Amino acid sequence: MTRITFYGGAQSVTGSNYLLEVGDVRVLVDCGMFQGSSDAEEKNYEQFPYEPSELSAVFISHSHADHTGRLPKLHKEGFRGILYATPPTLDMTFIALPDNLSLMTVEAKKANHPALFSDEDLQGIKGLAQGVDYGKEIQLGPDFSAVFHDAGHILGSSIIEFRAEGKKIYFSGDLGNPPTPLLQHFEYPLEADYIVVESAYGDRIHEDRSTRKEKLRSIVKETISKGGTLMIPSFAMERTQELLFELNAMHNAGEIPGIPMFLDSPLAIKLTEVYQKYPEYFNKESQYIINSGDDLFNFPGLTYCRTSEESKNINAVVGPKVIIAGSGMSAGGRILHHERRYLSDPNSTLLFIGFQAEGTLGRKIFDGEKEVSIFEEKVSVHCRVEAIGGYSAHADQPTLLSWIAKGAEGGHLNKIFTVQGETTSATTLAELITAQFHVPAVVPTPNETVEL
């Protein structure tokens, strides 16, 4: 008997958490945090609805918090099996989780309740981790095995293929948005029987990616010509590395003047060092550039600011400059200090390269508010505000359908489950799949169990 229970990621973008049972063997796919919703904290603190000590293994698709954030809590509640992921995923997970713990500890003290997990729990789950490269088979039991395939979403991200009792079951994880500057194209499911597919953009088509580099170059040059500061709130993982790659390429081609640029984010710097460690995960074009002697993420004029003192020193740099800092939605981090200083400057520019969630400072500025509060201080917004939309690392509707089409070849496909999307996007994608491939596609409900 094979069955899946959808404990997280069902009718929700976040909290990815799926229990796969094959005979007596129980494994988990992802153990992510719920984020963004009013009941997210409550859900994160709830006891797991299964017994963690009975799990043989946990498979992690990639290192984003909505796929990894509750791993230490899983250890806290008794998990002692093996944690499987690609080596880059493990490296980035165990750089990001301590950062999450620091933030959670501060918030928990304010709210007068314990943090979700402790450093002891974090070290405990880290001790169970085992890195596995793409294409290497992991034996889990009689007639039950797993393989990681490249998902092209962020460094080390994976599609997880399970072979169980003669059936092939694919979990997409988060699928990438090819072609990307750095990573290889995602792999496809082959002769699938069942597919669990993400649907974050199941009802949308992305802006043309080819225009984003031109727009970035234009914004950099225009800000420089005015003598202003270009502030880019950026997510530490993947978004920052793609941005550095593109700025490096422009610098090498002489397309932008050589001015001071700063990566002002200790977390982004650590994660960039992980990228530098695994060039074999990059696409051929990026590997060729590296082999020619170029550092993809560094160039003359770029300064990595690790300490708060180095961050403060940026203020002393007179004239045009570029500052890349977290957080990506201006919800915290060092970007706030720079925004407080330069938002009121009409010669400066604030450039958004990622989604700005409702209620965040970034969203307020993006929506056109002319006065915002930063560190309880009123700050006028007179700078230019721009956004580039081609940086999404998620597959859009046509890309998801093309991925499903490959899985449907061979005529084995019995059923598809659309997850990790808002109800509208998951439902839209499911309806399109059913109409196009004549295969039942459904949006599972939270905690629903399905026998395969």
Let me know whether 33 and 152 are in one domain: yes
Q: Check whether residue 189 and residue 309 sit in a common domain.
A: no
| Own/partner pairs, 102-106, CB within 8 angstroms, 24+ separation | 103/332
Q: How many CB atoms lie within 10 A of CB 383?
A: 22
Which two three-digit tokens encode residue 213?
């580099």
Contact 98, 126 (CB under 8 A): no
pLDDT 10s digits, 204-246 = 998 777 788 899 999 999 999 999 999 999 999 999 999 999 9
**Complete DSSP assignment for 326-339:** S-TTSSSSTHHHHH
Same domain, yes or no: 218 and 105: no
Residue environment code for 277-296, b if the CB has 16+ CB neighbours within 10 A, otherwise e: eeeebbbeebbebeeeeeeb
Residue-wise burial string across 205-230, b where 16 or more C-beta atoms lie within 10 A, e elsewhere:
ebeebeebbebbbebbeebbeeebbb
In this structure, are 229 and 330 located in the same domain?
yes
The dihedral region occupied by 320, where left means phi > 0, alpha psi between -120 and 50, and beta the remainder, is beta
Structure confidence by residue, pLDDT tens digits, 142-172: 999 999 999 999 999 999 999 999 999 999 9
Residue 412 pLDDT level (bands cut at 50, 70, 90): very high
**Phi and psi dihedrals of 300, rounded to 5?**
-55, 130
Lowest mean per-residue pLDDT among 35-39, 84-88, 377-381: 35-39
- Give the dihedral sign, CA 391/394/396/401: positive
CATH number at residue 215: 3.40.50.10890
Question: What percentage of the chain carries pLDDT values higher than 70?
Answer: 100
State mean pLDDT over 45-60. Answer: 98
Q: Which residues pair with 158 in a beta bridge?
A: 150
Decide: 172 and 152 in contact? Cβ < 8 Å.
no
For residue 8, what are the domain limits?
2-204+393-451
Domain termination residue (choose one: 333, 367, 387): 387
- Mark whether 334 and 413 lie in a shared domain: no
pTM across the whole model: 0.94
Q: Which residue has the tokens 């610098």?
A: 251
Cβ within 8 Å of residue 175, ≥6 positions away: 151, 152, 153, 159, 186, 197, 198, 394, 395, 399, 400, 403
Burial of 108 from C-beta contacts in 10 A (0-12 / 13-18 / 19+)? middle
pLDDT score of 18: 99
One domain for residues 290 and 324: yes
Give the number of domains in the chain: 2
For residues 168 and 106, state if they share a domain. Answer: yes
For residue 316, pLDDT over 80 is answered with yes
Same domain? For 125 and 236 the reply is no
Please say if the pLDDT value at position 325 is more than 80.
yes
**Count of beta carbons in the 10 Å neighbourhood of residue 12:** 24
Query: How far is the C-alpha of 151 from the C-alpha of 192, rounded, in Å?
Result: 16
CATH code, 151: 3.60.15.10
Secondary structure (3-state) at 429:
helix
Last-in-domain residue among 387, 406, 421: 387
Q: Are residues 18 and 135 in the same domain?
A: yes
Judgement on whether residues 180 and 215 belong to the same structural domain of the protein: no
On whether the CB atoms of residues 442 and 436 are closer than 8 A, the answer is no
The answer to whether residues 119 and 247 belong to one domain is: no
Cβ atoms of residues 283 and 182 within 8 Å: yes
Confidence of residue 104 (pLDDT cuts 50, 70, 90): confident
349, 371, 387: which is the final residue of a domain?
387
Confidence class of residue 389 from pLDDT cuts 50, 70 and 90?
Answer: confident
State whether 363 and 408 are in the same domain: no
- CA 261/CA 299 separation, integer angstroms: 9
45 contact partners, CB below 8 Å, separation of at least 6 = 116
